[in-house]
Amino acid sequence: MSKKSKGPDDVVLYRRLLSKVRPFWTRLLWAMALMILVAGASSAMAYMVKPVMDDIFVAKDRAMLVMVPLAVIVLYAIKGTCSYGQTYLMQFVGQRIMTEFRVDLYAHLQKLSLSYYDRVPTGELMSRITNDVNNIQGAVSSVVTGVLKDLFTIFGLIFVILYRDWFLGMFAVGVFPLCVIPLVKFGRRLRKISRRSQETMADVSVLLHETISGARIVKGFCREDHEIARFSAEAERLFQLRMKDVSTRAISSPLMEFLGGLGIAGIIFYGGWQVINGHSTPGTFFSFLTALIMLYEPVKHLSNLNNDIQNGLASATRVYEVLDTPPQIVDKPQALTLPRLRQGIEFRDVSFAYRPGETVLNHINLNVPAGQLLALVGTSGGGKTTMVNLLPRFYEVSEGAVLIDGVDIRDCTLFSLRSQIAIVTQQTILFNDTVRNNIAYGRPEASEAEIVEAARAAYALDFIERLPSGFDTVIGEAGVLLSGGERQRLSIARAILADRPILILDEATSSLDTESELYVQKALENLMRGRTTLVIAHRLSTIQRADRILVMSEGRIAEEGRHEELLALQGLYSRLHRMQFAVDQGLEVGGVA
């Protein structure tokens, strides 16, 4: 962002953030009232130093000996109570706003189209929901809680200073800003260092994520030492930055104190001279000095505030960047509710490109009557997955139209469209939840009997019953480890239970070994029964009984027909078949009944 555009952008940003704060104005007013009391009590402490000195120590007044300590107790009690209430109210507002931000962001991410997820790395999005929202919170709470309390306290203390000795007070208050200059300077340097160490921290996280989740590869290629060296280099970089940070901080504080000491020495000389000459009392002098010393804290806070604000604004920009991205695929204003599929699916002259100019699908025409089994085969990268992803509108066609029962799917609600389709892919996605909830994911209201039936039809019942707690076993990272075939059968059970008329199988068995593939095949047979199915298969033997086979190549339908017809063509299909046959002979794959 250029310096020039920063101004108005910041104003817009402040305004948006403020609009988030507005609903909480009553709480904020209360908090402000409490802050004034806290600031008043702090200043009163400085004020009280004079009666302590002059009345108790110098004049030896016994009545004051009781009164003053009582007053101190009352002041501390007031200060403590108000400070608690003030912090609680302010944090309530800050935390509430952050929770809203988090939920808004998450809800928005759920609405964004898949093309957005293709573009932005997962880690990036996660860090916006966690780190950036935390940063905003830091800024909001330090601004709202800090600024006013510090300002009120500074006003109160300056009042005491001027009241005690206005001449010296003017001098001290005038000199004070000079002490702030080094603070600001150090602050800037610290910010630079801290930004760099944040970046290094991020690098370390990426490295950790890569090498921990890729532990198998690291070990397999014997690269442990290399990874250790890489990690220790990053850790060393972090060490250097941290030490720079520490030494800057460690210098700034003694330096500040030394400057403060110079000032205090001057004040002691002048003040002492006044007292010795009888122009002032020790109480006045110490009260003055106390107020001056107490000024240090709130002023230091205020000078650090800018760092927090800059951090928070940068993060807010990143958060709004996500929130302001409109979802590309949404319901039309008067979208239809698509009834359950009756006639069939049609691709009418469909072309598609992920990026403009890079055509992935080229004028595809296709009719799939309801109840048919259509198989898609072809070279890798030929556009098979892309084609089936157009059906649930994960991506929008660039040209042409996809129709269900003669209705353009862009005219239907996404909900009614997607609730007709079940998808089983190569990567099985199971959630960190019980087996039961994983199966019922697409139909949470399903009865126990239906869930068990779906598991049986998916050939999953046997192994589920062998799990430690059966259907209540939690699967996922911390839970039970399932084999690829077992995971796949659970996801098939999920699809069976969801009972959608259209089924998409995208290489559902390609990552499995022969034995589990056999079970999964049988489970798939049960799943496909009575549905309109688009199946992408790498293994030609599994699709020989398809009603129709499309051979895709470079975004076009190269060949089309039944197994025998395609073989007779002696084209791409028969070539793929010969290659597959050579592989299968080694594997001895049995046919599927």
Ligand X SMILES: Nc1ncnc2c1ncn2[C@@H]1O[C@H](COP(=O)(O)OP(=O)(O)O)[C@@H](O)[C@H]1O
* Residues near ligand X (CB under 6 A): 118, 354, 360, 380-386
**Binding-site partner at residue 465 among ligand X, Mg ion, none, CB < 5 to 8 Å by type:** none
**Binding-site partner at residue 5 among Mg ion, ligand X, none, CB < 5 to 8 Å by type:** none
3-state secondary structure of 374: strand
Min. distance of Cβ 393 from Mg ion in angstroms? 18
For the record, the structure tokens of 348 come out as: 């009418």
**Binding-site partner at residue 380 among ligand X, Mg ion, none, CB < 5 to 8 Å by type:** ligand X
Minimal CB distance to Mg ion: which residue? 385
CB closer to ligand X, 20 vs 384: 384
Of 108-116, 231-239, 378-386, 540-548, the window that binds Mg ion (rule: CB under 5 A) is 378-386
Of 142-150, 159-167, 205-213, 385-393, the window that binds Mg ion (rule: CB under 5 A) is 385-393
Min. distance of Cβ 246 from ligand X in angstroms? 45
**Binding-site partner at residue 382 among ligand X, Mg ion, none, CB < 5 to 8 Å by type:** ligand X
Residue 385 found at the interface with Mg ion (CB under 5 A): yes
Min. distance of Cβ 536 from Mg ion in angstroms? 6
CB closer to ligand X, 121 vs 381: 381
Min. distance of Cβ 99 from Mg ion in angstroms? 39
**Binding-site partner at residue 354 among ligand X, Mg ion, none, CB < 5 to 8 Å by type:** ligand X
Min. distance of Cβ 495 from Mg ion in angstroms? 18
Min. distance of Cβ 380 from ligand X in angstroms? 4
Q: Dihedrals φ, ψ of 397, to 5°? A: -60, 145
Which H or E run contains 407? strand 407-408
8 A C-beta contact, residue 391 and residue 506: no
CA distance 398 to 47: 76
Min. distance of Cβ 538 from ligand X in angstroms? 9
Residue 509 found at the interface with Mg ion (CB under 5 A): no
CB closer to Mg ion, 258 vs 354: 354
CB closer to ligand X, 384 vs 487: 384
Measured between its terminal Cα atoms, the distance across the chain in Å is 64
8 A C-beta contact, residue 508 and residue 430: no
**Binding-site partner at residue 148 among Mg ion, ligand X, none, CB < 5 to 8 Å by type:** none
8 A C-beta contact, residue 125 and residue 277: no
At CA 206, angle to CA 200 and CA 211, rounded to 5?
Answer: 125
CA distance 179 to 292: 13
CB closer to ligand X, 39 vs 364: 364
Of 59-67, 120-128, 377-385, 477-485, the window that binds Mg ion (rule: CB under 5 A) is 377-385
8 A C-beta contact, residue 200 and residue 234: yes
**Binding-site partner at residue 277 among ligand X, Mg ion, none, CB < 5 to 8 Å by type:** none
**Binding-site partner at residue 112 among ligand X, Mg ion, none, CB < 5 to 8 Å by type:** none
CB closer to ligand X, 386 vs 420: 386
CB closer to ligand X, 124 vs 465: 124
CB closer to Mg ion, 99 vs 510: 510
CB closer to ligand X, 356 vs 468: 356
Min. distance of Cβ 556 from ligand X in angstroms? 12
Min. distance of Cβ 577 from ligand X in angstroms? 17
Which H or E run contains 361? strand 359-369
State CA 8 to chain mean position distance: 27
Min. distance of Cβ 360 from ligand X in angstroms? 4
Binding mask 67-106 for Mg ion (x = CB under 5 A): ----------------------------------------
**Binding-site partner at residue 383 among Mg ion, ligand X, none, CB < 5 to 8 Å by type:** ligand X
Min. distance of Cβ 303 from ligand X in angstroms? 48
The site that binds Mg ion (CB under 5 A) totals a number of residues, namely: 1
**Binding-site partner at residue 138 among Mg ion, ligand X, none, CB < 5 to 8 Å by type:** none
**Binding-site partner at residue 415 among ligand X, Mg ion, none, CB < 5 to 8 Å by type:** none
3-state secondary structure of 70: helix
CA distance 255 to 118: 51
At CA 98, angle to CA 94 and CA 99, rounded to 5?
Answer: 115
CB closer to Mg ion, 86 vs 386: 386
8 A C-beta contact, residue 387 and residue 559: no
DSSP structure class, residue 165: -
**Binding-site partner at residue 118 among Mg ion, ligand X, none, CB < 5 to 8 Å by type:** ligand X
Residue 539: HSE in the Cβ half-sphere, 13 Å Cα cutoff:
23
8 A C-beta contact, residue 518 and residue 590: yes
8 A C-beta contact, residue 535 and residue 373: yes
Residue 74 CB contacts under 8 Å (≥ 6 apart), including other chains: none
8 A C-beta contact, residue 315 and residue 129: no
Q: Dihedrals φ, ψ of 568, to 5°? A: -65, -25
Min. distance of Cβ 381 from ligand X in angstroms? 4
Min. distance of Cβ 361 from ligand X in angstroms? 8
CA distance 303 to 306: 6
The number of beta carbons lying within 10 Å of the beta carbon of residue 305 is 17
For the record, the structure tokens of 586 come out as: 């080694």
At CA 107, angle to CA 12 and CA 311, rounded to 5?
Answer: 40
CA distance 270 to 125: 60
State CA 380 to chain mean position distance: 34
CA distance 422 to 500: 6
Residue 1 CB contacts under 8 Å (≥ 6 apart), including other chains: 9, 317
CB closer to Mg ion, 382 vs 501: 382
CB closer to ligand X, 106 vs 354: 354
CB closer to ligand X, 380 vs 585: 380
For the record, the structure tokens of 151 come out as: 């300002």
DSSP structure class, residue 130: I
CB closer to Mg ion, 391 vs 493: 391
Min. distance of Cβ 388 from ligand X in angstroms? 8
Residue ranges that bind Mg ion, judged by CB under 5 A = 385
